[in-house]
Every structure is written in structure tokens, then in C-alpha cells.
Amino acid sequence: MELKLNGKIIKGVGGLYEIRIARSDADMLRGVGMKIENDTVLCKARGVFRHEKLTLLVGDDVVLRVDTELALASDADARENHKRGDEAMGGVMIEEALPRRNELIRPPMANLDIIFAVFAAAKPEPALTTVDKLITIAEYKEIEPVVIITKADLAPDAAEHYADIYRRCGFRVFIEGLGIDGGELEGYIRENADRVSVFAGASGVGKSTLMNRLFPSLGLATGEISQKTQRGRHTTRHIELYPLDRQFGDSVMGCIADTPGFGMLDFVQFDFYTKADLPYVFREFEPYIGSCRYTKCTHTKEDGCALLEAVKNGEIPEERHKSYLEFYEVLKNKHEWDKK
């Protein structure tokens, strides 16, 4: 019997994908004798994905083709099929990828609802422009950015200071750390348990540590940060979406991902949005746009700029405008480069 089912890629390493399928489909496959654990199947993609260099991302919704006879064939037969170049490993194969709602380059994922922008209050010292790059890219892609500040136990005042910056802009902010009750964040994830969310941020900020605290059964590896550079050592090596039903109950459909931390150079290539988009990806700028003296105001140095005035009055956090200025410089030059 051959049949088609829908699923979601929750992990992909070396051309082998782990696909989450519906409980009812998993039961059906078990019913015909297949061994299905955790409502997931392991498979490869149809050759066309390799030949046409179509990338599949964690978070992609896909159509699987299941050949139950092949799936139930003895291991020796399955190996023989495999040797002949048959991609239908174990009788299951990714047939087709469904259109994406959105996709990110870093972390490389598709169909996200929420990005948790994670940074540490200290060790490593936060680079707010990197945080803002992530946040503005999320805004541009219409993925909800939520701020998590970790290691507040090491620098409680700094944590409050950073939290204040982002709260003033209208973001949800969670302060976390050793000995701090993470119940509020867990509540937020529970409220959004049908969505797909991701922890993203620099290496060593404590993403995996926090995931472990929220979901103790995961047992994710965590690493020391380097004494010399104060940076993380890229402990997490691949992206994996964890289905939340294991935590919150059977009817829950969402997932949450841990991701490898960013390095220092990861965001240098900057072509996610253009200079024209820039004022609109800072949500706290919105009330001021259109009120500047000059219609072509760049909000960088002009007289009568409503935005600069708001920064001066403390209505817009200076740090955020600093990120704006930095991105403006990069995007401005990109523009000139393109015209050459």
C-alpha cells in the first residue's frame, strides 16, 4: 500500500530528516505494523531536492510518501533497496515541500511564529546591535520577537537596565537566571503552545540551559564559556524542534527549538531588508514616522526630526537608535554598491 501524509521537519542532519506526523497517522502506521516512536519518522528526501538544490529547513511542512510494503520488508531487503539508490529508506520519503510562510537564514528555519531573542546580562557582555539585528529581521518577516535576558543572577542591575530598554519599545521581556523563578516564561510558552518558536542568540548566553530548565526531559548539552574571550564555544551543533505536547499534553501542536549560537561574524552579511524598510522594523519608531520636518528625513541627523527629538526626550531608547544608525550606514552603502 502506498499513501501520502503531511508532516513537519523537526530535525535534519546530513540529509536525514526527522518528521513529526499527526498522532492519528502515527497510529494508522502502527496499525499496519510499522514501528513508529514519538509520532516521528526518519527519512530522506526525494532525489529532486538534491539535484535541484532545493533546501529543506527545520520547520518545513512536507508531504511524505509511505510505501508500507517496503517499510515492512526485512532489514536485509531494505538495505538492498537502499544500496540500489532507492531514497525510500524504510519505505518513507519526503515527496514534496509545502509553501513556506516565512524563512530565516540565521537560524535556518521555516514557518516560525515566535523568535525568542536571547542574550545574557553578563558573560558574555551583550551586543545590543546583534540582538536588534535579530529582532528587526523578525519584525520584517512578521515573526513575533520576544526578549529573554539570561544570567540575571550574575548582573541583576544590568538585566533590569536591558529589560527596561526593550519593555519601553513594547516587547515582552523575560528575565531569567540561576535561582530566578522561570514560571512566567513557562506560562508564556504554554499560552503559545500551538505555535512554532525558537531560542536564538549568541553562543554561550544560556539558551540550552534555559531549555533544559523549562523542559527537563530534554537533557540538552550545555557548555562553558571561554575564560579568555568570554564567548561561548558553540556547544549546540544543530537545530531541533521539540514538540510541546510531550510537556503540555496531547492536544498541543506547537514546537520549540534550540539553535546553535551565533558567532561574531554571522550577521555581517546584511541584506535581509532594505534602507527603505529600516524605520518600520523598529516598532517604537512608529508613532513618530511622518512627523519629521522633511518628508525624506533619514532620522539620522536632520533638524526637525521627530524621531531624534523622541530619542532626546527619552521616549525612544538611545541604544535602539544607535542600532538604527549602524544598520542605516550598512544599508546605505549596500545601496550605492548595488547601483555601481
Ligand X SMILES: Nc1nc2c(ncn2[C@@H]2O[C@H](COP(=O)(O)OP(=O)(O)OP(=O)(O)O)[C@@H](O)[C@H]2O)c(=O)[nH]1
Q: Is 235 in the site for ligand X (CB under 6 A)?
A: yes
- Per the structure block, which three cell numbers stand in for 89? 529508506
CA distance 219 to 49: 33
The smaller minimum CB distance to Mg ion, of residues 11 and 320, is found at: 11
- Per the structure block, which three cell numbers stand in for 318? 538611545
**Residue in this structure with the C-alpha cell 531573542, named with its chain if needed:** 117
CB 203 within 8 A of CB 231: yes
Q: Is 209 in the site for Mg ion (CB under 5 A)?
A: no
- Per the structure block, which three cell numbers stand in for 314? 527619552
Per-residue string for binding with Zn ion, 305-334, x by CB under 5 A?
A: x-x---------------------------
Per-residue string for binding with Zn ion, 30-59, x by CB under 5 A?
A: ------------------------------
Q: Is 259 in the site for Mg ion (CB under 5 A)?
A: no
* Polymer length of the chain: 340
The smaller minimum CB distance to ligand X, of residues 44 and 151, is found at: 151
**Residue in this structure with the C-alpha cell 545590543, named with its chain if needed:** 128
The smaller minimum CB distance to ligand X, of residues 174 and 327, is found at: 174
**Residue in this structure with the C-alpha cell 542532519, named with its chain if needed:** 13
The smaller minimum CB distance to Zn ion, of residues 37 and 303, is found at: 303
* Position among 7, 124, 145, 232 found at the interface with ligand X (CB under 6 A): 232
DSSP string of 89-150, one letter each residue: GGGEEEEEEPPPS-EEETTEEES-SEEEEEEESSSSPP-HHHHHHHHHHHHHTT-EEEEEEE
**Residue in this structure with the C-alpha cell 527629538, named with its chain if needed:** 309
Q: Is 225 in the site for ligand X (CB under 6 A)?
A: yes
Chosen from ligand X, Mg ion, Zn ion, none, partner binding at 225 (C-beta under 5 to 8 Å by type): ligand X
CA distance 230 to 34: 49
Peptide bond preceding 145 in cis form (omega within 30 of 0): no
Q: Is 107 in the site for ligand X (CB under 6 A)?
A: no
Per-residue string for binding with Mg ion, 286-315, x by CB under 5 A?
A: ------------------------------
Angle between helices 128-140 and 318-339 (to 10 degrees): 70
**Within the chain, how many helices (H) and strands (E) appear?**
11, 13
CA distance 211 to 215: 6
CB 273 within 8 A of CB 137: yes
Chosen from Mg ion, Zn ion, ligand X, none, partner binding at 62 (C-beta under 5 to 8 Å by type): none
Cβ-in-10-Å burial (0-12, 13-18, 19+) of 337 comes to exposed
Q: Is 299 in the site for Zn ion (CB under 5 A)?
A: yes
* Position among 109, 138, 165, 205 found at the interface with ligand X (CB under 6 A): 205
Nearest position to ligand X, beta carbon? 261
Which SS3 state, helix, strand or coil, does residue 322 take?
helix
Chosen from ligand X, Mg ion, Zn ion, none, partner binding at 178 (C-beta under 5 to 8 Å by type): ligand X
Min dist. Cβ of residue 312 to Zn ion (A): 12
Query: How many residues contact Mg ion, by CB under 5 A?
Result: 4
* Position among 153, 160, 194, 315 found at the interface with ligand X (CB under 6 A): 153
Q: Is 323 in the site for Mg ion (CB under 5 A)?
A: no
What residues from 236 to 265 belong to the interface with ligand X (CB under 6 A)?
A: 236, 260-261
- List residues binding Zn ion (CB under 5 A): 292, 297, 299, 305, 307
- List residues binding Mg ion (CB under 5 A): 207-208, 235-236
